[in-house]
Amino acid sequence: MLAMWVKVQVTPEGRERFLQAIEVDALGSERDEPGCLRFNVLHDRQDPNVYYFFEVYRDEAALEAHRAAPHYAVWRAAADTLDGPPQATRCDTAFPAAAEYWLRKR
């Protein structure tokens, strides 16, 4: 499994457009991509302009398929709402350790 933790800061004036675009991407990712096992968007409690993405993919090929998906293009088209580049950290899943946990669709 390939997990990603991505932090983005958005401009206050771009927040609503960002939220619309990332919702399209997150929902489309889980709905349409067999290799996308999780795509959550979280909002920082201390800073109204900071968001985090928690993404889990079956493998590197699934991440590449994600980047080629139509809903990803919606998100990329709204990248001008960001205040600086995304900060991405690649991770391995540790717990739950059972692959079955990650592979089941909700």
pLDDT tens-digit map of 36-68: 999 999 999 999 999 999 999 999 999 999 999
**Domain with 70 in it: what CATH number?**
3.30.70.100
Q: Round the average pLDDT of the chain to a whole number and report it.
A: 94
Provide the domain limits for residue 32.
Answer: 2-103
CA angle (68 as vertex; 44, 12 as ends), nearest 5: 30
In the chain, the number of structural domains is 1
Say if CB 66 and CB 23 are below 8 A apart.
no
